[in-house]
Chains A and B, each alone.
Chain A
Amino acid sequence: MPAKKINVGIIGPGNIGTDLMIKIFKYSKFMNPKIIVGIYASSDGLRIADKLGIGNSSTGIGALLKDKSIKIAFDATTASAHFKNAALLKEAGIRAIDLTPAAVGPYVCPVVDIAAHLDAPNINLMTCGAQATVPIVWAIGTVTKIKYAEIVATIASKSAGPGTRQNIDEFTQTTARALEIVGKAEKGKAIIILNPAEPPILMRNTIYTAVAEQKKEEIIDAVNKTVEKVKEYVPGYRLRVPPIFDDDKVTTMIEVEGAGEYLPKYSGNLDIETSAALAVGDLVAQKLLEKEG
């Protein structure tokens, strides 16, 4: 454990923000959760922050901006709120790690492209569907050119909050773009399905790719290695069906079980976002600490 940690703040004490706060509190190597801010005094997340001895405020982002020791802020609000927050954070010289689909900054997936964006003022974590599937597309893409990538994310109804429900087109569009930009597929398509079955299902993802070359052994090897890498920061990330080959189509299925910290285990879709945020935050914080020397 390094003696020194970077102070970070969280905007939005909803399900995602609260889960992330707990993860940073328990597991972060380089970050200290100093404050969480929201707009409702009744937020469960603020109450938990109190219990953990983490600073909190229900009067918006102001308290976070005022604290000059904060170097990184995670935004777990909504895309429209992040557009405003992004400008304020930039002005205050605070790095933004964005968990909304606002995409002010570059899309980042911890196993793929974080190294290129460690100094970016604003980092976007795409969508949960993209965090779960882009690594597989990218892995296959290291073996052969991908003409087309299509993913289907199936999520328990209980685990899809109002943000996702009211903006479902943003999910499919952002995920499709991430498959192209980060996954390096020539063309991407995304589908999301909500399933209300009880007990709630775990997050499932099917990844179809149309590959230029059917290098089976190499593709299987690349997928297996990448799954292991994702597992390092999302322990519940599992290969459900290893690559199946039908002509130029490769089908791979992934299941994500949540860590069950603040959110239930079936919320693998939310867990993978907060786990990615923790992983990315630690890398950014580590680099900041190195600079400070």
Chain B
Amino acid sequence: MTPTGKFIRIVDNTMRDGSHAVKHQFTIEDVTAIASALDDAGVPAIEISHGDGLAGHSFQYGFARETDEAKITAVKKAAKKAKVSVLLLPGIGTRQNLQKAVECGAQIVRIATHCTEADISEQHIKMSKEMGLEVFALLMMSHMEEPPKLLEQAKLFESYGADAVYLMDSAGALIPDMVHARVSTLKNGLKIEVGFHAHNNLGLGIGNTLAAVDEGATIVDACVCGLGGGAGNAQEEVLVAALDRAGYQTGIDLYKIMNVAEEIVTPRMPRPQIIDKAALALGYSGVYSSFLLHTYRAAERFKVPPLDILLELGRLRTVGGQEDLIVDVAYKLANKKS
């Protein structure tokens, strides 16, 4: 039987968002093994970068075991068909980092800003387009703004030349109704494709991704075993099965991607990817998912409960990248206690 359903492109984030879950300690051997297996399963695009994007290697976000360049080169070598994607957050990485990534083999560039700050990405998007790359522009923490504001920002991305705009549910705080409203507003207001990136903090990674696809999103992120910040992302092998049942095509072999999960990724996971109390608190209070492990560390360092830190971070309306505020908040809570 020839599949007839609409094609949904999955961008694998197992080694990029999943980098948070392993505290950025993937080795070149890990990267090569995972990328080869993903490529063999028919995954169309594989993202590789520090979890916080190119040049995320830092005290602020955690030092990676391997450089971005070495990992990109390894994925490029392993991927026979899949395109290689990289992530860049203006303010952290620069055009110089992007240039190097392209020299190592990056073909898709994803440029992410907080969902109200799209105009800091103009230089990076334009340069990437001039270099002939496919460019996706990402609105992070998209639960924090209403659809009209998100559309206004998405239109800026479109005007700079982006090929697609993504809604990132960076805090895993969206529920399906909110996904429907956001994706349909973008879909109706833009000429370019719309993408969606889920987190599973409220247990809605797959459900929200299906909601996005039903509203016309044609590119979605997923991670094998759900590996990612917070409670992880849309679990790729599950998403492939669910999209298939919903009548969409992904081009990914379900049996093979299930085996990648069980045989290649699971043995490399330092902890199970579950919705624990703190991960749930991220989604509930709308806090950036990659704050999770940093919060555990600060909680231990300053002897304060992780939940207290996360709720305060939610109250302060922190945005992605403000990992230093975790220490600030933990320090203040510890001093208040004593």
Residues of chain A at the chain B interface (Cβ within 8 Å): 150, 152, 154, 157, 162, 165-169, 172-173, 189, 191-197, 204, 206, 208, 210, 240-241, 244, 246, 249, 251, 253
Contacts and interface: CB of A to CB of B under 8 A. Distances in A.
Contacts of B331: 241, 244
Contact of A196 (B94, B117, B325): B117
A189 B59 CA distance: 10
A170 to B, nearest CB: 9
Contacts of B95: 169
Given A152-B321, A172-B92, A173-B96, 10 more contacts: A152-B60, A157-B116, A191-B91, A191-B92, A193-B91, A196-B114, A204-B324, A206-B328, A208-B59, A244-B327
Contact of A166 (B94, B119, B318, B327): B119
B94 A172 contact: yes
B327 A194 contact: no
Given A169-B123, A241-B328, A241-B331, A193 B94 contact: no
B122 interface: yes
B301 to A, nearest CB: 7
B91 A172 contact: yes
Nearest to A196: B116
Interface of B: 58-60, 90-92, 94-96, 114, 116-117, 119-120, 122-123, 301, 316-319, 321-322, 324-325, 327-328, 331
A172 B123 CA distance: 14
B327 A251 contact: yes
Given A193-B91, A196-B114, A241-B331, A150 B119 contact: no
Nearest to A173: B94
Nearest to A167: B123
Contacts of A173: 94, 96
B59 A150 contact: yes
A169 B301 contact: no
16 contacts: A157-B116, A166-B119, A167-B123, A168-B123, A169-B123, A173-B96, A191-B91, A191-B92, A191-B321, A193-B322, A196-B116, A204-B325, A206-B324, A208-B60, A241-B328, A251-B327
Nearest to A191: B92
A55 B241 CA distance: 72
A146 B24 CA distance: 24
B94 A194 contact: no
B162 to A, nearest CB: 16
A169 B90 CA distance: 7
Given A150-B59, A249-B59, A196 B120 contact: no
B52 to A, nearest CB: 9
Which of A150, A167, A172, A249 gathers the greatest number of chain B CB atoms within 10 Å?
A172
A194 B120 contact: yes
B201 to A, nearest CB: 21
Contacts of B301: 246
B142 to A, nearest CB: 13
A157 B91 CA distance: 13
Which of B60, B91, B122 has the largest number of chain A CB atoms within 10 A? B91
Given A165-B119, A169-B94, A240 B319 contact: no
B264 to A, nearest CB: 33
B58 A150 contact: yes
Nearest to B319: A195
Given A169-B90, A173-B94, A196 B324 contact: no
A152 B321 CA distance: 9
Nearest to A172: B94
A71 B122 CA distance: 38
